């Protein structure tokens, strides 16, 4: 088991500084433009590919960091640059992780390279899970996948929503129901290859924040994919479904449910790290502004009303980072989240991001309310952290249920 430490090692510091430089020199100068355009920042993604940030190799290296801090460190630095552009850079990773977690070696080798493309022709991928009537309630998912034995194909029908890169992706990973009687355990994931007939982009959302990241509906109408596109393969799926049915008959369904919850818990610290990055960006800007901005003949930071706000902001950011690092270390060390520590980190960090960015706007006063200053954009971006990957209300529900052992509703 890796020892817990609060200091990054030399290799981690080198990666952090490299990412910070890219965020400062490439992402930040482009942030306002792509926020206004509300389009995917393809030139920035290409620059990230050229230097090796937009690649499976980079994320794999961070993911397998034995301390667990590689991913949260990377997320914090990129999102410090700009949340919308950073999400465009890391969004493909959601689909890639879905294939890595569930796919065969052949599927991993076939599809993940197609998700990223190459330096001269970058591609993106989309992970499609949420639905119009099934966001936090994944048990209400309606997208169906039916196996056509005669042709050895799966037929997918349904509508996905809130899909990052949905419709513009080269490869879509779609979660669908294969056995409605098994609830959330009757789901499976499928690869939808490029240019597959029947898959189309639905509504593209015009969002309050993270506007440089493409978010849209994905419509599936009799989408046929080869049997080889079922992640993990049909034999593995049939075995899993059979085990689930047997456990349900034996009264072991709750144990299966808790195992699934642990998987979701492990992914939430990464979102917390994104929130920390945005909060830190707003704090950094507000601090420098407060030292330079003069009112009544002195810098406004000389006023306790401003200085104490900044003290609170920094304290909350550091506390949020510590919760994220703890959960990330616990996940890589195999420690169970007996108090829903993954949800704790995501809940606290996302709420801190909203509060800190609002305080930054307040410190800048009228300037903070204009698009001439970046804290306005950061405040809009921060709103998403309390919504996606489980709302703050869902996180509190998970934590309360875990602590009490009661089916709180």
Task: Identify the three-state secondary structure at position 289.
Answer: helix
- Whole-Å CA distances, 239 to 95, 236, 244, 245, 256: 24, 5, 9, 10, 15
CA distance 76 to 380: 17
Residue positions counted in the chain: 409
Q: Which of 265, 351, 376, 389 is catalytic?
A: 389
User: 95 burial class (0-12, 13-18, 19+ CB within 10 angstroms)?
Assistant: buried
- Number of neighbours of residue 315 by Cβ within 10 angstroms: 11
Contacts 24+ apart (CB under 8 A), 129-137: 129/160, 129/175, 130/160, 130/161, 130/162, 130/163, 131/158, 131/159, 131/160, 131/161, 132/159, 132/161, 132/217, 135/161, 135/162, 136/390, 136/391, 136/394
CA angle 214, 85, 392 (to 5 degrees): 75
Decide: 348 and 279 in contact? Cβ < 8 Å. Answer: no
Give one DSSP letter per residue of 235-246, joined into a string: HHHHHHHHHHHH
Q: Which two tokens stand for residue 176?
A: 């669908």
The pair of structure tokens assigned to 104 is 């065969």
Q: Are 387 and 212 in contact (CB under 8 A)?
A: no
Q: Is 389 a catalytic residue?
A: yes
Q: Which two tokens stand for residue 396?
A: 């509190």
**Would you name the residues annotated as active-site residues?**
389
């Amino acid at each position: 088991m890796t020892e817990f430490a609060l200091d990054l090692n030399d290799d981690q510091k080198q990666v952090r500084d490299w990412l910070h430089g890219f965020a400062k020199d490439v992402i930040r100068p482009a942030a306002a433009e792509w926020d206004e355009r509300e389009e995917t920042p393809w030139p920035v993604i290409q620059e990230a590919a050229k230097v090796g940030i937009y690649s499976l190799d980079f994320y794999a290296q961070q993911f397998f960091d034995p301390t667990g801090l590689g991913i949260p460190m990377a997320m914090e630095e990129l999102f410090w640059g700009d949340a919308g552009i950073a999400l465009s850079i890391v969004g493909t990773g959601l689909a890639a992780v879905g294939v890595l977690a569930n796919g065969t070696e052949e599927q991993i080798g076939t599809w993940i390279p197609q998700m990223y493309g190459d330096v001269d022709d970058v591609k993106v991928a989309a992970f499609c899970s949420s639905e119009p009537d099934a966001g936090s309630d994944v048990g209400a998912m309606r997208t169906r996948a039916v196996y056509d034995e005669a042709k050895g194909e799966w037929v997918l029908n349904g509508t996905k929503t809130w899909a990052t890169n949905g419709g513009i992706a080269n490869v879509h990973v779609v979660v669908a129901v294969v056995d409605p009687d098994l609830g959330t355990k009757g789901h499976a994931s499928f690869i939808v290859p490029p240019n597959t007939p029947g898959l189309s982009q639905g509504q593209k959302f015009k969002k309050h924040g993270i506007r440089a990241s493409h978010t849209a509906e994905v419509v599936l109408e009799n989408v046929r994919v080869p049997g080889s596109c079922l992640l993990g393969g049909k034999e593995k799926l049939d075995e899993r479904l059979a085990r689930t049915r047997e456990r349900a008959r034996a009264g072991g369904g709750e144990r299966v449910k808790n195992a699934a919850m642990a998987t979701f818990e492990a992914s939430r610290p990464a979102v917390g790290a994104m929130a920390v990055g945005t909060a830190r960006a707003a704090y950094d800007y507000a601090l420098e502004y407060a030292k330079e901005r003069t009112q009544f003949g002195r810098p406004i930071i000389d006023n306790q009303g401003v200085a104490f706000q900044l003290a609170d902001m920094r304290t909350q950011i550091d506390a949020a980072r510590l919760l994220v690092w703890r959960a990330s270390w616990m996940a890589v060390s195999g420690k169970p989240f007996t108090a829903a520590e993954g949800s704790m980190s995501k809940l606290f960090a996302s709420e801190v991001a909203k509060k800190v960015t609002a305080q930054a706007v307040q410190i800048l006063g009228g300037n903070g309310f204009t698009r001439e200053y970046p804290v306005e954009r950061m405040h809009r971006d921060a709103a998403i952290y309390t919504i996606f990957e489980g709302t703050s209300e869902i996180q509190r529900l998970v934590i309360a249920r875990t602590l009490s052992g009661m089916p709180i509703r």
